[in-house]
Amino acid sequence: MKVHLFVTCLVDTMQPNVGKATVEVLERLGVDVEFPETQVCCGQPAFNSGYTKETIKAAKNMIKAFESAEYVVTPSGSCKAMFLEYPHLLKEDRVWSAKAEALAAKTYELTEFIVDILHV
């Protein structure tokens, strides 16, 4: 099984050991981990501050970054939850809204993925 890791900007900037530990846990469970280098912030800070245009720009980038993934795994529940907002943000655009739905459906917080998909 292969997953794409969404490390999050906070993990990447402030707690890189969380990202490393996430990879270690997944690999110990037999999962191949890929890291799309085009990923950026999920847009949550902009979203929470009311900057819709900036949030949509971040959302579209993230959708593209993870489009080929079978599963997206992140160690952050709040950033995973932000992906659930993308379909609402992009609801006026059928194509992007559908892509956002697909991303939201295949994204899991780390423990959620371990329990729901790997059944550990």
pTM beyond 0.75 = yes
DSSP string, 12-26: HHH-HHHHHHHHHHH
Determine contact, residues 85/46, Cβ cutoff 8 Å.
Answer: no
| pLDDT tens figures, 47-67 | 999 999 999 999 999 999 999
DSSP track, 44-60: HHHHHTT-HHHHHHHHH
Has residue 87 got a pLDDT over 90?
yes
Task: Give the model confidence (pLDDT) of 68-85 as tens digits.
Answer: 999 999 999 999 999 999
Q: What ranges do the domains of the chain cover?
A: 36-120
